[in-house]
Structure formats: C-alpha cells, structure tokens
Amino acid sequence: MKKLMIAFTSVLLASVLLLVTINRLNAVQGYSGSNTLTVFNWGDYIDMDLVEQFEEETGITVIYETFDSNEAMLTKIQQGGVTYDIAVPSEYMIEKMVEEDLLIPLDHSKLPNLKYIDERFMDLPFDEGNKYSVPYFWGTVGILFNTELLPDKTFTSWNDLWDPELENSILLIDGAREVMGMGLNSLGYSLNDTNPDHLQEALDKLVSLSPNIKAIVGDENKLLMANNEATVALVWSGDARDIMWENEALDYVVPVEGSNLWFDNMVIPKTADNVEAAHAFINYMLDPEIAALNTEYVGYSTPNEAALALLSEELAEDERFYPPPELTDRLEVYENLGKEMLGLYNELFLQFKMLIN
Ligand code: N2P
C-alpha cells in the first residue's frame, strides 16, 4: 500500500511539473511571437485600461511603445529593429510611408466596426479608400493660455505671441512641422510653403520669438501648464482639452491666420509580426463604447460618429475641440512635401532648437 501511495504521489508530482512547464512555455511563446502585439503610438494617447481589457478579452499580450513626433516614429520603423504591428502616424506621414512601401494594406473584412467612422473622415486624399489607414483621432494646433495669470492678454493671432511682455513664458511642441508652420502662418504663408526664402523668413521670425520661449517640450507641457509653471503653449487641441480639465484658468484658441488640421490614423507597418492581432486591435479601438471611453480619457476629438453620440454634450459640442466647417475650412492639412523639403523643414527647426535648448 505504501509503495502504491509513493507511486501515485510521484505521478501526481510529475503531472503538476509538466503542467507548470507547459504554462511557462506558453507565456514565453506569447512574448516571442504569435500571441504578442506591439503597438507604437504617440505619448499619452490611449487609455491603458482599454489595452488591458483587450489583453484580457483576446489573450493577446500587448507591448506598448510611444513616440513624440511623426519623424521620430518614421525613423524607428525604417530601422526595422522592432516588430511594430500598429503605428499611428498623421496624414502626411501616411502618404510618405505608402510611398516608401512601409505599410501593409488593410483587410476591411476584418474591420466591421469601420462603419462607425463619420464619412467626413473616410477616404481622405492622403489614403483614398482607406487602403492603409483607419481614423483614430483628429484635431487642430493652437494656443493654450492662462486667463488668470495673463488677465489683460488676448490671443487671436499668432503674432500675439511676439508680445515682449511674454518673455520666457511660451512652451513649444517639439515638432518641425508645427513650429515652422507657426512661423509661416504668422507671416501669412501656407504651412505647406516650399519656397526656401519663405522658410528662411519663417526661421528668422521664430528666432525673434526666442526671448519669449521658455522651452521646447514633449508631453511635459501638460504638467507645466496644469501647475501654472508656464502661461502660454503651442499645443495640439486634445492636449489642450486634457490640461483644461486639470486647470480651469486655461483656454484654447486657433489663431485667425489659420493653422493645422490633422488626422492621426492607425496603420499596420511592414515591420508587423502579427497582422491578425493588429486587425483585431484596430477593430476593438473602433468599437463605439471603447472609442468613447478612449476619447473621454485622452481628450482628443473622435472621428467615430457612434462614439461621439455616447459622449456628454459638454464634450461633443465644444467648438474649440469639435470645430465647425467654417473654422476647419480655413485650416490646412500638412502635405507630404517630399524628402528634400521635409529635410529642409527639419534642418531649419533644428537650427532654431539649438538656439533655445
Ligand atoms: C498626443 C499627441 C497627439 C498628436 N500626446 C497629434 N498628432
């Protein structure tokens, strides 16, 4: 009997060990391939609880990485060292990535929730037929300012930023198109201008703004503005929305000369290792309830019509963040200006940055 007990216990122990080993192997396998999804997104641009929920629902492990400019994102994808399954570039960058053959065409049969996107945001010139990209968020670029700390200032024009009283006050986005675009717009030029003389003029104009610049920053701008450590910032609209929830003294305006209207879309880069899971993730993010929760969390404007209907009126009807066509009509979408021109924008911006930081 004792022998029988020992034999039985040994078999039981061996089975438990085997099970543990199989589980371990599965976990490791998850990280090395088929059950892993690598998402590459802008900083502060998703509700991580929703990512966790996706993992729970699908058993897919999400590896999440962030970037803070289209240019930085492109470099990482071109290097090809990481198997990014999803990226979220803006329109002009999508066009460039298609040109460089860096994207995989989407299988629309795996994206039934695409029907919830407002048709205004579908089939745009940078990706006709949405062959490669699906709308994620959209917005504008404008000025965020503190009405309590600057009670006598009004901000309607880009040129209001050149006021000598704003010495060492302004935060700028760390983006070549945004900052050069502001310089160009302040001179009455298009933010897609390709005349090198105009670009040089824009740089000179930016240089004359340098005494007023406090810093060129990434997502730290939120904390600095929320804590009254800076009074003015060049920002993307959704970041403004998010910071204004924290600090009620702040307001956001899109200057009269015009500005940028942008669209960030989800794409599957050629670096992808799990195209199936990438489609599942995109479709999940398009679900109206998920998109609504994500919108409430990040503050950006959703292109998802069904999600918008689930949001509070206060959020969905705020024209600062859901600007009417009269406003969007006078805004410009960045164009893909070609390698050389984008190189010049980057180079001039770098010259300016070196003066500031
Ligand atoms: C989020 C950045 C949004 C980028 N922090 C706008 N294209």
For every one of its 357 residues, what pLDDT tens digit does the chain have, with 9 covering 90 and above? 444 444 444 544 454 444 434 443 333 333 334 699 999 999 999 999 999 999 999 999 999 999 989 999 999 999 999 999 999 999 999 999 999 999 999 999 999 999 999 999 999 999 999 999 999 999 999 999 999 999 999 999 999 999 999 999 999 999 999 999 999 999 999 999 999 999 999 999 999 999 999 999 999 999 999 999 999 999 999 999 999 999 999 999 999 999 999 999 999 999 999 999 999 999 999 999 999 999 999 999 999 999 999 999 999 999 999 999 889 999 999 999 999 999 999 999 999 999 987
Q: Is the pTM of this model over 0.85?
A: yes
Tokens 């699906």: give the residue. 134
Ligand 1 atom closest to the Cα of residue 139 is 6
Structure tokens at 215: 């810093």
Q: In the structure encoding, which two tokens stand for residue 135, read together?
A: 């709308």
DSSP H helices, 100-236, are 176-186, 196-207, 220-226
Query: What pLDDT score does 357 carry?
Result: 72
Reported residue count of the chain is 357
Q: Token pair 């007023």 is at which residue?
A: 212
Smallest CA separation from ligand 1 atom 3, residue: 42
- CA distances 213 to 170, 178, 262, 348, 356, Å, are 5, 15, 24, 17, 7
Work out which ligand 1 atom sits closest to the CA atom of 219. 5
Q: Is 109 exposed, middle or buried (0-12, 13-18, 19+ CB in 10 A)?
A: exposed
pLDDT digits (tens, 9 = 90+) for 225-243: 999 999 999 999 999 999 9
* Sequence-separated (6 or more) residues with CB below 8 Å from residue 233: 143, 144, 145, 170, 171, 172, 221, 224, 225
List Cα–Cα distances, 252 to 119, 142, 162, 168, in angstroms.
27, 7, 17, 20
**CA 298 to ligand 1 center in whole angstroms:** 10
Angle among Cα 321, 323, 326 to the nearest 5 degrees reads 165
Structure token digits, residue 95: 């066009």
Among protein residues, the one whose CA lies closest to atom 2 of ligand 1 = 42
